[in-house]
Amino acid sequence: MRVFIIAEAGVNHNGSIDLAKKLIDIASNSGADAVKFQTFKTKNLAIKNLEKASYQKNTTNKKETQFNMLKKLELNKDMHLELINYCKKKNIIFISSPFDHESIELLKNLDLEIFKIPSGEITNLPYLRHIGKLSKKIILSSGMSNMDDVKNALNILINSGTKKNNITILHANTQYPTPMEDVNLKAMVKIGKELDVKVGYSDHTLGIEVDIAAVAMGASCIEKHFTLDSKMKGPDHKASLEPHHLEAMVKAIRNIELAIGDGIKKISKSEMQNIKIIRKSIVAKTKIKKGEVLNEKNIIVKRPGNGISPMKWDDVLGTKATKDYNEDELI
């Protein structure tokens, strides 16, 4: 199974098309499958006097409202078109999370095949119906939710017209950065089993170990924030991977994909050659004359493993030697 890796640029472009393109370069060079941005009209997203989340206050101007912060990070239609075309040149999929109905329509008209629903919209019935009716592939983040919230959102999407096999649910935690004790990867597994749906993990922890663990536990999709420089000003840079860490994460995930295997216990091609050297055979413990009865005093088990298997020990005991044997000679 190939894991679908989303390099989450989010709003780390800081409103700059040039910086957004640099982020696409980084995502493409890392080997990620897709690069994701965020699409919104601030006027449709937040009230004007809404205060920032605690993590946003820690990384941006505390006196600034969330509305004013978001306004600086909007991408207009022309910027979307430019970034989509640039992604095509870089051979990476463009994805964006719409945060309002106007943005859903924009992305629909831009012919996006994958719609990523952010955690904050999991209880937004009109929004979920709007996307569900599009019959696109959907990736649903489930931060700040319980199992009932996830079930309800899934059913709304399905009842609105989206096929269940086109939906992937990402377990998530929306705190930037997420404390390790709040990750709860077992919840991802639970969602998959209980709802019979493809699952993945949207990660906001520091580092890459949780993403690797999620893949080992069955994640089919990984989403991870990245930035050009984690010291840059902006709400999400601090909790984002820098380019070399993103590349390391992708490489590690690809290695784990190979390591998971098919689940069938068998001798691998690489170790086949070791059987002869490392396994053991029944050999002569001392010199044995032809016709002598083989017993525990004159035979023993030693390497190499290209003779009679020790599993035949009981069959060999009590039989007569068919020839003369020197010490350590294979029986």
Question: Alpha-carbon distance 98 to 241, whole Å?
Answer: 23
Peptide bond into 304 cis (omega under 30): yes
What are the CA-CA distances from residue 240 to residues 39, 73, 215, 320, 329 (Å)?
Answer: 19, 17, 19, 73, 63
Distance from C-alpha of 239 to C-alpha of 274, rounded to nearest angstrom: 46
Residue listed under structure tokens 């696409």: 24
> What H or E segment, with its residue span, contains residue 68?
helix 66-71
Q: Specify the CATH superfamily of domain 4-260.
A: Aldolase class I (3.20.20.70)
* pTM beyond 0.85: yes
| CATH architecture of the domain with residue range 269-316 | Alpha-Beta Complex (3.90)
Encoded amino acid at 206, one letter: L
**97-106 burial by CB neighbour count: b if 16+ within 10 A, else e?**
bbbbeebbeb
Catalogue the long-range contacts made by 250-257 (C-beta closer than 8 Å, 24 or more residues apart): 250/5, 250/30, 250/31, 250/32, 251/31, 252/208, 252/211, 252/212, 253/3, 253/5, 253/211, 253/212, 253/215, 253/222, 254/31, 256/212, 256/215, 256/216, 257/1, 257/2, 257/3, 257/215
- Can you give the residue ranges of every domain in the chain? 4-260, 269-316
What is the model's pLDDT at position 144? 98
pLDDT tens column, 178-213: 999 999 999 999 999 999 999 999 999 999 999 999
Q: Which two tokens stand for residue 230?
A: 């984690």
| pLDDT number for residue 56 | 65
9: nearest Cα among 96, 98, 90, 71: 96
Number of C-beta neighbours around residue 132 at 10 A: 23
Ranges under pLDDT 50 in the chain: none
| Contact by Cβ (8 Å): 17, 79 | yes
